[in-house]
Amino acid sequence: MSHADERYYVPHDSHWPIVGSIGLLFLMVGVSTWLNGADLGFWVMMGGVAVIVTMMIGWFGAVIGESQGGLYNAQVDKSFRMGMFWFIFSEVMFFCAFFGALFYARNMSIPWLGGESNNFFTNLLLWNGYESAWPTNGPGEVGGDFETMGPFGLPLINTAILLTSSVTVTIAHHALIAGQRKILSTFLALTFLLGFIFVYLQAVEYIHAYQDLNLKLTSGIYGSTFFMLTGFHGMHVTIGAIMLFIIWLRVVKGHFTPQSHFGFEAVAWYWHFVDVVWVGLYVFVYWM
């Protein structure tokens, strides 16, 4: 059997990865055929999602079981932590691509279309009369007139919600270390509730944008960057909140000790990451 006492731990074989790959196959083929216009694709995609969800439940379940069974040692714990850290880093880089697009559009392509730098003729011959500005849906006014969301109102409330949730998760963490399970579960519950409220409010915001402001994904570069950035962020909040919820269930079941609680910490880190991205969004998308 595996030896928890020695320094190295090597896990059992597992069929979950290959299940995951099959799920990905169905998911990707499904989405693609769906996008190409075949309705069947949707169902293939949903099948893929189902397989992947099953895989995640099974895989994480196995890991949680092993962890609870005391098979892991400090080194495994550290491997998990480092793994999570670098995973989050890769997510940061994914967002960087979209922030990059935003900065490029605002500082390069829009002014150039307006004739700045070496683009005098671009403006004169192709987009005569277009003046660079932000927000904009470009010289072709793609998507028609629109209004922006503005930094106050819902976005500000959402900022407050996310910042608060970062505090509550930290309180929960301290409580976990101090062994105060009651506080832990209360504040953890508060955190994911705040997360879900955030997602709900964002949905309200999107509906408002689409119905009242004519601000859409198709509203030129402004709409593109606005919805892609906030949309991917919202997706991450949703995932994060679901993970917090699962962690909460585990807390209720009595998992985690003050010494060993990688699962909790991983999700907490993830939550902080989501929070930091939001601050960036708030500043660069809504405010400036």
Partner 1 sequence: MADHGPDKGIKRWLYTTNHKDIGTMYLIFSLVMFFIGGSMALVIRTELMQPGLQFVHPEFFNQMTTMHALIMVFGAVMPAFVGLANWMIPMMIGAPDMALPRMNNWSFWILPVAFGILLSTLFMPGGAPASGWTMYPPLVLQTGDAFPFLIFSVHLMGISSIMGAINIIVTILNMRAPDMWLLKMPMFVWTWLITAYLLIAVMPVLAGAVTMLLTDQFFGTSFFLAAGGGDPVMFQHIFWFFGHPEVYIMILPAFGVVSEIIPTFSRKPLFGHDSMVYAASCIAFLSFIVWAHHMFTVGMPLSGQLFFMFATMLIAVPTGVKIFNWIGTMWRGSLTFETPMLFALAFVFLFTIGGFSGVMLAMVPADIQYHDSYFVVAHFHYVLVPGSIFSLFAAAYYWLPKWTGHMYNETAGKLHFWLSTFFVNLTFFPMHFLGLAGMPRRIPDYSTQFADFNWMASVGAIGFGLSQLIFVYVLLTCKKGAKATDRVWEAPKGLEWTVPSPAPYHTFDTPPVKRVAQEAFE
Partner 2 sequence: MMRKLLCSVPGLVWAGAASADYAVNMPKGVTELSAETYEIHMLAFWWCVAIGVVVFGAMLYSLVKHRKSKGVQPADFSHSTMAEVVWTALPCFILLFMAVPAAETMIKLEDSRDPDMSVVVTGYQWRWHYDYQDSDIAFYSSLAESSLKARRLESGIDPYSVENYLLEVDNPLVVPVGAKVRVLLTSNDVLHAWWVPDLAIKKDAIPGIINETWFKADVAGTYRGQCAELCGKDHGYMPVVVEVLEADAYAEWIAGQTADTTGSNE
Residues that bind partner 2 (CB under 8 A): 112-113, 118-119, 121-122, 125-127
Candidates 220, 234, 240, 263; binder of partner 1 (CB under 8 A) is: 220
Give how far Cα 68 sits from Cα of 12, 20, 72, 83, 241, Å. 16, 24, 9, 20, 23
Note whether 67 binds partner 1 by CB under 8 A: no
Q: Record the tokens describing residue 50, joined without a space.
A: 């189902």
Partner whose footprint covers residue 121, from partner 1, partner 2, none (CB < 5 to 8 Å by kind) = partner 2
Candidates 104, 120, 152, 287; binder of partner 1 (CB under 8 A) is: 104
* Angle at 239 (CA atoms; ends 211, 253), nearest 5 degrees: 135
Residue 278, C-beta contacts closer than 8 angstroms, at least 6 positions apart: 158, 159, 162, 233, 237
Residue type, 111: P
Report the interhelical angle of 154-178 vs 262-281 (nearest 10°). Answer: 160
CB of 106 to partner 2, least distance (A): 17
CB of 139 to partner 2, least distance (A): 8
Candidates 51, 110, 241, 277; binder of partner 1 (CB under 8 A) is: 110
Task: Tell me the HSE value of 16 on the side-chain side, using a 13 A CA sphere.
Answer: 16
| Nearer to partner 2 (CB atom), residue 138 or residue 195 | 138
Stretch of 4-12, 167-175, 190-198, 240-248 contacting partner 1, by CB under 8 A: 4-12
CB of 250 to partner 1, least distance (A): 20
Report the C-alpha gap between 223 and 214 in whole angstroms: 10
Binding string, residues 118-157; x marks residues near partner 1 by CB under 8 A: x-------xx--------xxxxx-xx--------------
Candidates 123, 165, 191, 224; binder of partner 1 (CB under 8 A) is: 224
| Nearer to partner 2 (CB atom), residue 123 or residue 191 | 123
Candidates 8, 70, 125, 288; binder of partner 1 (CB under 8 A) is: 8
Q: What is the DSSP track for 13-75?
A: P-SHHHHHHHHHHHHHHHHHHHHTT-THHHHHHHHHHHHHHHHHHHHHHHHHHHHHTT---HH
Candidates 44, 169, 221, 244; binder of partner 1 (CB under 8 A) is: 221
The 3-state DSSP composition of the chain as helix, strand, coil percent (nearest 5) reads 75, 0, 25
Stretch of 7-15, 153-161, 169-177, 254-262 contacting partner 1, by CB under 8 A: 7-15
